[in-house]
Amino acid sequence: MTAPHTAESAHTAESENNEEKNDMVIARTAVIGSGLMGAGIAEVLAKSGCDVIVSEVSDDAVAAGRARIEKSLAKAVEKGKLSAAESEAALSRLRFTTDIADLADRQLVIEAASENEDIKKAIFAQLDEVVTDPTAILASNTSSMPIIRFAQATSRPERVLGIHFFNPAPVQPLVEIVSSVLTDPEVAETATTFVTEVLGKAPVQASDRPGFIVNALLIPYLCSAIRMLEAGLATKEDIDTGMVKGCAHPMGPIALADLVGIDTCLFAAESIYTETGDPAAKPPVLLSRMVDAGLLGVKSGRGFYEY
């Protein structure tokens, strides 16, 4: 005799189904772009045991990305943070391609292309066409751009969200999980579990607003420090020393702007200021002139300081 279908049994069945839905195991991953952030994210994924495909625009970009990851892993081995065997294992999990169609079977794709909205929208439209798994998660590593705009470039906006790593990705523990107004809560939950349990990072939940959590607070602070320098109120050394010695910050704001990237700071400030009108985020003229001069910070060898 079949047991009667009670409200309790229905609830149990529903709970079991929900557990199955949330039991997605992500193993096949991809990263779009292998610049400073993309290479770092790919390294994190590979060291965590994931199968990783890195997609780039050219063979030269592939060679540069591969070299960037190999150099980072070698440095980790040299510092004793990774064994030679672990480094080799991570490298064995990495593949590179210039054909985005090779990402067809991926379960998670993290876009880490340049901070250009049109470029990112085009990438998400391509991913929507080539990624065949209907449960795949499409994510952006953008530091400040609206996730909903990328989601709307796809036919599955509920499976698009932000997974924002911090530089350098192999070292920094924080990851912002950014849900748009259309992101399925289960997708955010799956991404959060993956970031925590597989990558060993510390995720925080952020709303889809300019700058999310960290940059919404950080960029106005950096702009304020640069305005102070621009006005001649203090030297860069004294500004940095003041915040390190006076506020126990690990790094002063001027040096931090160099580390983040002067161009990245400018883009984030423009994005936040344009959408919110917050005067604290209005980019200082000096910031724009630094970018015009190609003085981008650590990555170019010279910013406010020389490297």
The answer on 99 and 244 residing in a single domain is: no
Helix, strand, coil percent content, the chain, rounded in steps of 5:
55, 15, 35
The answer on 163 and 110 residing in a single domain is: yes
Residue 36 has pLDDT above 80, yes or no: yes
- Location of structure tokens 């509920």: 158
**Does 87 qualify as catalytic in the annotation?**
no
- Please give the share of the chain, as a percent, with pLDDT higher than 70: 93
- Tell me the pLDDT tens digit for each residue of 270-300: 999 999 999 999 999 999 999 999 999 999 9
The answer on 198 and 266 residing in a single domain is: no
Domain end: 156, 172, 207, which one? 207
* 178 confidence band (pLDDT: 50, 70, 90): very high
Residue 8 has pLDDT above 70, yes or no: no
The answer on 168 and 265 residing in a single domain is: no
The answer on 237 and 201 residing in a single domain is: no
**Does 143 qualify as catalytic in the annotation?**
yes
User: Mean pLDDT over residues 149-165, rounded?
Assistant: 98
**How far is it, in rounded angstroms, from Cα 222 to Cα 256?**
8
Q: Using an 8 Å Cβ cutoff, are 223 and 203 in contact? A: no
Task: List the catalytic residue out of 111, 164, 180, 271.
Answer: 164
Domain end: 177, 207, 237, which one? 207
pTM score of the predicted model: 0.87
CATH number at residue 139: 3.40.50.720
Ordered alpha helix ranges (H), the chain: 7-21, 36-47, 59-78, 84-92, 117-130, 147-151, 185-193, 214-230, 236-247, 253-260, 262-276, 285-292
Q: Report yes or no on 1 lying in a domain.
A: no
Per the structure, the count of domains in the chain is 2
* 14 confidence band (pLDDT: 50, 70, 90): very low
Residue 231 has pLDDT above 70, yes or no: yes
The answer on 244 and 183 residing in a single domain is: no
The answer on 250 and 121 residing in a single domain is: no
Task: List the catalytic residue out of 48, 55, 179, 215.
Answer: 215
Q: What domain range includes position 67?
A: 24-207
The answer on 251 and 202 residing in a single domain is: no
Instruction: Phi first, then psi: give them for residue 28, nearest 5 degrees.
Output: -100, 110
The answer on 196 and 78 residing in a single domain is: yes
Q: What is the predicted pLDDT for the residue at 3?
A: 42
Domain end: 207, 233, 265, which one? 207
- Please give the share of the chain, as a percent, with pLDDT higher than 90: 89
Task: List the catalytic residue out of 43, 56, 115, 176.
Answer: 176
**Does 164 qualify as catalytic in the annotation?**
yes
What does DSSP say about strands 108-111 and 28-32: parallel, antiparallel, or unpaired?
A: parallel
Q: Report yes or no on 12 lying in a domain.
A: no
The average confidence (pLDDT) of the chain is: 93
The answer on 238 and 199 residing in a single domain is: no
**Does 158 qualify as catalytic in the annotation?**
no
The answer on 199 and 267 residing in a single domain is: no
CATH number at residue 230: 1.10.1040.10
Residue 265 has pLDDT above 80, yes or no: yes
The answer on 270 and 155 residing in a single domain is: no
* 22 confidence band (pLDDT: 50, 70, 90): low
Task: List the catalytic residue out of 55, 72, 143, 271.
Answer: 143
Q: Report yes or no on 171 lying in a domain.
A: yes
Q: Report yes or no on 307 lying in a domain.
A: no
